[in-house]
Structure 1
Amino acid sequence: MKLFSPAIYNKSTISSCSGETMLKIEDFLKECFLQYDTENAHLYNVSALEEIRSFLHKEILNQFHVDIFLEETLSEDFFKNFDHDVFLVRHPRFLPAFPHSHDFFEIMCVLNGSCSNSIGGQTYMLQAGDILIIAPGTMHTISDTNEDSLIINLLIRSNTFDSNFFYILKDQTILSEFFKNTLYHNEKFSYLLFHTSVDSEVFTILTALYQEECDNKRYKNAVKNQLVELFFSLLLRNHEKDLCLPNPNGSDEENNFIFILKYMEQRYQNVTLQELAHFFHYSERHMIRLLKEYTGQSFSQNIQKIKLKHAAELLITTDLSQKQIASRVGYSNPNHLKKLFIQQYQMTPAEYRALNKEI
């Protein structure tokens, strides 16, 4: 049984374009696809690619009086047209695979059918239920030539994404840090891919978001922001285990890496490299390589970062002494913690507490 009503998604969320007009635009794109083989547009040379882009932009504007945003780069100024932090649009079927990027987040949600997405020179086949989070500045292409496909693009301002997605992860310091590095500092593969198998909870929220986008009701922006927070909460709660992480080196993905990070987070006070490697049935050498590839740091550096973040949290949320905090996060010598803390935060624990102490 389908979890969505096609009628809802046949509505257009672009104010200058009706749902019926968008379907006509798709028919036009299909004709172009069949006649000119635009599926592999991203493989053409630059001049040919720009000719295709210019031709389609001009024809769609002339025939349908709609601008479907075919620019190679798109800035957050895009949101000023809608005065919202979040915008949803159905990806037009048969649109050529134009390379493009934007300085906001794009979340591709595949409800039906399939499509391909190329990032960093690698192509990923997405199936129904896949949710792909693409970071700002990431050049990518989307190829959707499936007659029955249904792909919803959830476009979110960067600060709105941060305040929702990373707020949910605030208690998981190493996981939040890793996701930030993946999305903001991985030059080639800045994405997160969730395989949800069309989770009814997650996609019901997506449908509510799309319906809200179509309607012109009071407090629309506030409602969408709340729904986005719920969307991310359910996605992380239900599908953290179904997350595919890009290897920064372009090597094969390591399916256990999320669990490795969570294991370190939960046992950071006294976990050893030997214990970590043994638990996941890896050699210590292999575990060292994985941590270095994915985080850019050694085992001890990762553990130290976790300990210091927990120490910082205890300083501002408790009245524990520095000696008690050092013991609680896994340091027997409070002076050693103080030295490391100064290196990390450029101030002593006492100064940090005085500056940040909760009232």
Structure 2
Amino acid sequence: MNTIGEGARVKGDFEVSISKIVTPFSFLKSHTHDYYEIYYLMSGRRRLYIGNQCYSLKKGSLAFIPKNVPHKTMTASPPEHERLVIYFHDAYIDSAVKEQPDLLLPFSGQEPVLELNQQEQAFVENLLLQMINEYSDKDRRGRALYFKSLLTQLLLFAGRKQPDGSTEELKPVNPSIREIVQHCNDHFREPMTLGQIAGRFFLSPSYVSRLLKKYTGHSFPEYLNTLRIRESQRLLRETGLKMIEIAEQVGYLNITHFNKNFKLITGMSPLQYKKMAQNMEHVTLKHKPEFLEKHRF
């Protein structure tokens, strides 16, 4: 087996590596290995080289690196970033590939790096948190199978994001929706209704509703709740605020409403998410010294 970086090896058929980096460093030489790699940037910026192509990664970038293809990551500005990497062998996913032959399409498709929107980041990060939760407890019953099911979901999601080869010309984005989405992104913590948004942009509520559904795939309440829950996830990971304080900071006046929407969007309660995030932090700290010495990503 080829090595990662300066000698680290994947132990078993799959492995997860996560780390928070605050100092500048780069992988000076490209390397290859005979297993697949999925790289997700949770925060910050990096430059990723796959073969002779360079990709600028930002928060929410999801990269699929094929086996035996030279690659490396390098510092971007600022250097601080947090990333999660999944490694797995053919043998680990072989049974799923037999059932779904194009499961590994993300590694051979036209877009090896996907830029995820808010809703997609929430979905992917939820999968990744569950993966970490499974990976960190080696005695959990059905650990490998459940991890494989989560990996399969991630690969199917990414495969569906690949271009289908259609030559149909893309329609230009309505300029109104850009302004509406930006306003929601900037002010989701404040009280906000569809009627208020429509009035602000001199449009009818029904028209705004249709625009949001067409260009984001979500109704106004769904899009607003997703923005709020995404921010609440960050606060749960990075602060020690009480649940009621977090709910208020992201725009919920009712803790019951907050809990209901959090579970609807993430599939778990805020408390469950907080425990999984704490588990992720534990794994991050546990892996960080070895990561810095051996991987140099």
What band does the TM-score fall into relative to the shorter chain?
0.3 to 0.5
TM-score, normalised to structure 1, is 0.39
Name whichever structure is richer in helix by fraction: 1
Report 1 or 2 for greater relative contact order, CA contacts < 8 Å, sequence distance ≥ 6: 2
Higher gyration radius (CA): 1
TM-score, normalised to structure 2, is 0.46
